[in-house]
Structures are given as C-alpha cells and as structure tokens.
Amino acid sequence: MKNFINYIVYDKKENLHDETKMVRGALGHDPLSGSISFPIFQTATYRHISIKENTSFNYSRIINPTRLELERTMALLDHGYQAFALSSGMSAVTLALSMLKPNEHLLLSDDVYGGTLRACDEVLKNNGINYTQVDFTNLDEVKSSIKDNTKMFFIETPTNPMMKVADIQKISEIAHAKGICVVVDNTFLTPYYQKPLLLGADLVVYSASKYLGGHNDIIAGILVVKTKEQAEFFALQNAVYGASLAPHDSWLALRGLKTLAIRMQAHSSNASQVAEFLKQHPKVKKVYYVGDKSHPNYELSQKQTTGFGGMISFELDSMATVDKFLERIKLILFAESLGGVESLVTHPLSRTHSEIPKETCEKLGITPTLLRLSVGIEHVDDIINDLKQALE
C-alpha cells in the first residue's frame, strides 16, 4: 500500500512561489518510477488488491492519476480546496451552473462568452432557471437586479470582447450578504494574474483551451472550488455528467502550465506594446486594453490583478479597412480562440458573438468594425510589422 499512498499524499507547497508550483506541480514527478515528466495513465480502470484494500483509484471517469496531478496543481495555484479538470471550458461553466435549481435566478455579465449565454438560454431556461444580464462594473445596477430567488452571480472579468473589469471583492460582499454564490470565469487572466477565490469569489472556472493549455492544441476546462462541501457536490455532479478530462489532454494541460508564468509575462509585455502602436494608428478609432492608463477600470485592475494579460480589442475606421485588414494579415491568424502562443484575431460580431442579438451587441459596443486580438508570444516587432502592413 505504501507505493499507492504516495500518489495520494502531496505537499501543498505553501511556501513556494506560483512559478515553482506551475513547474513542479503537486507531486511533480511519478513517485514510483521517479519519471520527471508526470506519466500519462492511459487507463480506464484499476486493479483492486482485495475487498479491504484498494489503491484509491477505481475508474477513470471518477479519478485518474494524471488528471489528479493537474487538478491538484490548479487547486494549489488558485488556493482552492479542490479542482476538477473537464473536457472543455463549457463543461466547467455548465458544471458550475448545475448548482442552480428550478425557479432560481442568476445574474450574468452583460458581455459574457456566447457559449455561456447559450447554456443559459437554451438549457437553463428550459429547466425553469432565469437570468438577467448586468454590467458588473455598475454596482448599483448589480444591487437593483438582485431578486429574492437570485442564487448566483456569474462574472467574467475582464469581459470578452469589451474588456470591462469587475470588482470581485465588492461584488462578493454584495452577493454574500444575500447568500448568493459568486462564480468567476478567469480564463483571460489565469491564476497567475488574478486569484478570484482570494478576492472573495466562491468558484472559479476556466477554459483551459486558452492560456492554461497555451498552445492551441487542447480543448479543456477547470472548475476550482473553495470548500469541502462544494467539492463533494461537484464530484457527484461530475460523476453523473461524466465530462472528465482525458489522461493525454490532462498531461498536455500540465505541460502547458509549466510555462504559464513566462508565457503570461510575454503575452502581457507584447500586448502593452501592441496596444500602444494601435492607439497611435490613424485607422484605429478606439483601443480596449486593460493595461492602458486611460482604461476606465485601470486602477481596479492594478488593485486586483498582478498583470494585464494579452487581450486587446480595437475598432477600425471602416468596414473596408476591416475587410482589407483580415485579408492582408500574414503572421497574425484570423481564427477563433485566444490565449495560445500564436497571435490570433477575430471579428466578434460575425464569429464569437454571432448568436447575440444585434441590438445587444450594439448596446455593448460590439460594432461591425470591432476586432479582438489575442497577442501571442512571437517577437513583438513582427506582430507590429504585420499589423502595420495590414493597415496600410
């Protein structure tokens, strides 16, 4: 049994920095073989020793050593009680939403990710769960939108694509005074730059297909919980839904995590220079970047995050410029998604937000000439030169 117990017991690494936790993980290496690269336990099931003795592993939908290493590493980084690694960011979002019961209500960020809105519109509503979209940067609007049956706030900060920043601490205070659970989608900043649980939130979700994985090669999600009770609830829900991340993808996510800190630094540094370039360009009407001193929530970002990340939205002067830009870019790729090492640009109105009513998009500022750029970690001069030639 000694060898098996080694997979279960791990050091919480409380005195170590995030960078070290990312590189070394929870166990960090295989306790049996000493393999530095944590093994991919590509197995569906596990042999029991006897009725009385088992290895703590039973079936890979429920528990798998490679996935467990990823889950523990994420729980360490987010200061959570436990994490669940899931087959997509949407699995993490819907698992969090599964807390809600019929006749309950939730508040959602007004420019929340389209897939989350679709889950609320197409699935939750059919189950008698209603929502109101609010601007979480306006605390009066948040307070006045709370109903007697409101049980959850679902926040994205910064939002996609308008880069609005919500005050997690203040919002959590408002929520907790009324017994409301706060869920933060932390996909854009990752635990390296923002730790929602330490700011008062109750749950954190991620699309690990983005910065956590970091290489545009996996679809994965993470849900981090704060308490034992939440962990027990979601373990049961997840056993039922069966959306656990596969061993190989868990390994890829673990491998991505090892370089998360230096990647985030590179994304941020490149993004601040790209934002500066865009701001000066005559064909760029407006730049939305949380690291810009003129951003309305700049001070809040400085207070609650340790970095600004790599996401920029910007508005061009005409549709003709947008069309030409998307045809002419060479290094930057016109593609959905974000957070990978490659720079990607998308046109929110026709791509990520195509299912959102036009009037809502207009109200939010998602105009036909708005583009969203996920700044990669290529050399910043090459990114800027590509933008320059595409905007000529």
Ligand X SMILES: Cc1ncc(COP(=O)(O)O)c(C=O)c1O
* Contact in structure between 333 and 342 (CB atoms under 8 Å): yes
By C-beta, is 88 or 268 nearer to ligand X? 88
Structure tokens at 324: 């030409």
Measured CA to CA, the distance from residue 389 to residue 392 in angstroms comes to 5
The interface region with ligand X, picked from 9-17, 85-93, 170-178, 292-300 by CB under 6 A, is 85-93
The interface region with ligand X, picked from 20-28, 40-48, 84-92, 190-198 by CB under 6 A, is 84-92
Task: Tell me which residue of 1, 10, 16, 2 sits closest to 65, measured CA to CA.
Answer: 10
Binding positions for ligand X, 351-390, rule CB under 6 A: none
Smallest gap from residue 336 Cβ to ligand X (A): 7
Size of the site for ligand X (CB under 6 A): 14
Strand order from edge to edge, sheet including 344-346: 284-288, 311-316, 370-374, 344-346, 333-334
Binding positions for ligand X, 185-204, rule CB under 6 A: 185, 187
Q: Quick check: helix, strand or coil at residue 223?
A: strand
Give the angle subtended at the CA of 279 by the CAs of 341 and 167, to the nearest 5°.
Answer: 70
Q: How far is CA 365 from the centre of its chain?
A: 22
Catalytic site positions: 61, 113, 185, 210
From 207, 238, 272, 304, residue interacting with ligand X (rule: CB under 6 A): 207
By C-beta, is 160 or 268 nearer to ligand X? 160
Smallest gap from residue 113 Cβ to ligand X (A): 4
Beta bridge partners of 207: 221
By C-beta, is 245 or 380 nearer to ligand X? 245
The interface region with ligand X, picked from 8-16, 86-94, 195-203, 383-391 by CB under 6 A, is 86-94
By C-beta, is 212 or 377 nearer to ligand X? 212
- State whether the Cα torsion 388-161-271-331 is positive or negative: negative
Helix (H) or strand (E) holding 77: helix 65-78
From 160, 238, 313, 346, residue interacting with ligand X (rule: CB under 6 A): 160
By C-beta, is 13 or 67 nearer to ligand X? 67
Catalog residues that contact ligand X under the rule CB under 6 A.
Answer: 88-90, 93, 113, 115, 156, 160, 185, 187, 207, 209, 219, 221
